[in-house]
Structure 1
Amino acid sequence: MLQTFNLTIFKISKRWFQHGIKFYKLSSLTQTSNIKTDNLIFERFIKTRKVIAWNEEEIKRLHDAVAKHGPSWKTIWEKYFKPHRTPRLLNQKWRVLNMIKQRPSYYNPWTPEEDEILKSGVAKYGVGKWIEISKLFKQRDSLQIRSRWKVISSKTRGKWTPEEDSRLLELIKIHGNKWTMIGKTFNRSPDDVYLHYFYLNRVKWTKEEDEKLHDLIKKYGEDWNIIKKDFPKRSFYDIKLRYIKYPRTNPNINVGKWKSEEITAFYKAFVEFGKKWKYVADSIGTRTPNQCSQYYYRKHCSKKKIDIK
């Protein structure tokens, strides 16, 4: 099929060429002519930007550079990160690191007082006004508040009965994964319904699968898109949950008896962060937040109190 195109001269900037856009010139661009649709006027090739994840060495280098030079991003870029990181990316990463550090209550459990404040906020502003309600808290954001409301707004909580299990499986067959609607039937939160359905249909991990996951993480890191290809019958959630809950699948994590250097690092981090196990685990480097929590309570229960050296 023939189409008529009124073509004009394109002014192509240097910046376009730097981003990989290529135009192929055709003769008589200023003239009106009939061209077949299968003949391309120009082809556009955009180079995909390769995202390079930050590693621990780079983060430490960034901390040291800011401590020495302050937020002089151009100077830090020229001396420590050129040409792989731009000054703008350095600034963004530093802001993210500070934001994470300024949220000490993120991994802490909610207190009864905070629950009462949340209930009062919902009564005042209504469900869904999480940003307005978050202003009532000093160290809770809108995402935390929304997640917490899903928990405390459910009247039915606790262990599922066998009758509820059977009813849940029947409703899933009829309605599919409509978790909100099914949750109202049980007067439970949608998250509670989904997680329990996942629990009922879980497939036990084998020793061979654990070893395969360990080897893949050692080879590819946390690139779940590649790892998922070797586990076609398991979901991303299932794989990540196994990685988090079962330390033996992580080649960078130690299991068994704690080493003396790990204990020293634990005490040092505990003084700084307290029971914020995510930060404590990051400081140690070879233990998970769950392992740190278990170590603390094991020592605390046996000695009634923990002595910080």
Structure 2
Amino acid sequence: MPQLVFGIAQRTIVRLFDRVRFLTTPAFSYTRQRTSNRWSDAESRVLSQKYAELGAEWDTISRSIPGRTPDACSYRSRFLGLTTNLALTKSTTPVRWTEEDDQLLRKQFGIYGRRWTFLATRFFPNRSDFQLSSRWKTTLKDKSCGKWTSEESERLKIAVAKYGVSNWVSVARDVNTRTACQCRAKIYASDSSVKKGRFTKAEDDFILAAYNRYKGDWIAIADDLYKVFGHRRISKQCVSRYYNYLNPELVKGPYTLEEQEALIGAYYQYEGRLCEIARALPQRSYKMHEYQLEKLKRMGRILPVGVKKIGSGGLIQ
């Protein structure tokens, strides 16, 4: 009996010692000194090489780049286009931005707005959508957001009177603090000729034909729709209609069981971010995924992000 008590006490002490050691020993990745310096070309090359060898093993990769944490390596990989779906067909070699690149991005952003995937595919074949977004936000963004001031509205009114409603790049240049897309949306937001609500079959057929003719130039498509039907649909309406309903590459009909499982997996992987889910599962549209996720939530098959079902007995965090 005394031996049994002694053995239990000994095991308890060992467990307590292991527990204390676990709680008081700092993890390697959190004790390493971080650097706030910009990434060098050499560091980016090492990151690209290690990612090609190891995949997304960020803790292991970070040990090859002194002063960089796993999170920093993961974020940098997205900036370089290593871990985005779009980047699978693009070069992973870091390429410096030139003044010509910046000018092209400013010009096309003024026309198309924040359509990063479209801009990358059409105008920047060696860069990912994430690279364009980051370049804009960190370096090039100099336009206002939010409510228009009275001075901006007055400049817009004068510019539209000067250039009309077809040369939005020139209008935006005169306004100076807003993009072409913002100027166009501001004018048409209060325009009674802008039609809201359901699209007709004739409008759908026109958008499909115009998409093939203009190769995704939505401002031109919206302008032609106005000439044909006599009412306006802004470019954003046309974009949404095509990509959510008309795109012939979309799979129609109820989701299969395999599609539901893939959608649930993507929901947890991307923490509910619909844009990334739609990019990962392009056979269905953003709206289709949105509606299906709501249905799965009502059925109890999807739980809040970070919580997953296990078997039939409980939850894990």
Common topology (TM > 0.5): no
Q: TM-score, normalised by structure 1?
A: 0.38
Q: TM-score, normalised by structure 2?
A: 0.37
Question: Which has the larger helix fraction?
Answer: 2
